[in-house]
Amino acid sequence: MWAIRNMYRSSAQWCNFKQRGPQSTLQLKIQEYGSDTDSSCISQDLQPLSTYGVSQYQYAWLIMDMVAAVNGEGDKMSYDKASMAPQGGRHHEMEAKMKHINLSFAACGFLGIYHLGAASALCRHGKKLLKVVKAFAGASAGSLVATVLLTVPENIEECTKITYEFAEDTRKLYLGALTPGFDLMAKLRGCIDSILPPNAHEIAENRLFVSVTSAKNGKNHLLSNFASREDLVKVLLASSFIPLYAGINAVDYKGQKWIDGGLTDGLPILPVGRTVTVSPFSGRLDICPQDRGRMDVYAKVAKQDLKLSTANFVRLHQALFPPGQEKMESLYQEGYDDAIHFLLKENWFE
């Protein structure tokens, strides 16, 4: 109950919680609504709950029970004293769904160092979560980190070192990756080859979903079948190929031309189960920076709900033109800390 008490203490609108208990407090809130109230209305009013330690399935069933109570569809709300989770079949159904977890990493260029920080935290303190992850997904740099975390997690530290070196080499060029004669894709391929194990494609088969964009029609595809290690490497390169920035010749794979998946789906959400999202950009995501401002304005960018903030525009520049070593290390630590916060919030920390 300590987490729930802290949650409500932080919000004035729930000041009656400690005195009346969760059920009485919810009943008071229910009286404020009229009939025909829908879940979107109640969800908006209960939004503070989603930021104060209530897990996703608890929050979802809380809203559904309030809708039922408001519209006269239910008279009883039974909550476990320890978790405030609804009891009965629906609770177990939601719990079962939550056991099917996917992990998705956003497209982000050189900000992939944030992903590596998050991945490191998951490996150290999120083993309980990683054990139930059914599938990994990603776009561009996110697909690279997803691949490493799935196929060779023990190389996360080595991958971090390589990323620092890659960024340093790019900073030395007067136009960064756009400098004439600099072959970004060849260098990226060298990094991938040095990290992935020989059987990476076998481990990744039907568990890794890489977002790519067809150069022919601009449609997005999630590729998850890899006949060989070379096929996997080509798909990862295709997902990272930004036209003009990375070159002029799109990546050829199975007779078709493919480009950066981040252009059409920068953060793949898989259809089955819950997809835990990781991004170095602030937005409506599970693991991400929390930008503060007077107004929360969001925009959908390549299927991501990102906050319109000055910090996010700075991050976009850093994704293409890597910042200095000190900032890169800070981004790594930020990813690590944000992942730890998520694990604690969801009771996955160990």
Which of 43, 104, 140, 143 is flagged as catalytic?
140
Q: For the chain, what percent of residues have pLDDT higher than 90? A: 66
Per-residue tokens: 272:
């089955």
Q: Based on the residue annotation, tell me whether 214 is a catalytic residue of this protein.
A: no
Average pLDDT on 256-283 reads 96
**pLDDT at position 63 over 90:** no
Give domain 95-346's CATH architecture: 3-Layer(aba) Sandwich (3.40)
Under the banding of pLDDT at 50, 70 and 90, the label for residue 95 is low
**pLDDT at position 77 over 90:** no
Average pLDDT on 82-90 reads 45
Task: Report in angstroms the alpha-carbon separations of 195 from 143, 208, 336.
Answer: 14, 16, 21
| 3-state class (DSSP) for residue 264 | coil
**pLDDT at position 125 over 60:** yes
Distance, C-alpha 257 to centroid of its chain: 27
* Rounded Cα distance, 126 and 145, in Å: 16
Which of 43, 55, 260, 309 is flagged as catalytic?
260
| 3-state class (DSSP) for residue 260 | strand
For residues 168 and 52, which has the higher predicted lDDT (pLDDT)?
168
* Rounded Cα distance, 283 and 337, in Å: 16
* Rounded Cα distance, 347 and 342, in Å: 8
The pLDDT of residue 48:
44
Under the banding of pLDDT at 50, 70 and 90, the label for residue 232 is very high
For residues 203 and 30, which has the higher predicted lDDT (pLDDT)?
203
Instruction: Write down the domain spans for the chain.
Output: 95-346
The pLDDT of residue 98:
60
Q: Note the helical H segments in 127-223.
A: 127-130, 141-151, 156-171, 184-195, 200-204
Distance, C-alpha 158 to centroid of its chain: 22
Under the banding of pLDDT at 50, 70 and 90, the label for residue 47 is very low
Half-sphere exposure of 255 (CA within 13 A, CB side): 0
What DSSP element (H or E) covers 210? strand 208-214
* Rounded Cα distance, 331 and 158, in Å: 17
Which of 25-39, 108-122, 226-240, 335-349 shows the lowest mean pLDDT across its residues? Answer: 25-39
- To the nearest 10 degrees (0 to 180), the angle between helices 156-171 and 325-345 is 150
Q: Based on the residue annotation, tell me whether 120 is a catalytic residue of this protein.
A: no
Q: Give me the chain's average pLDDT, please.
A: 81
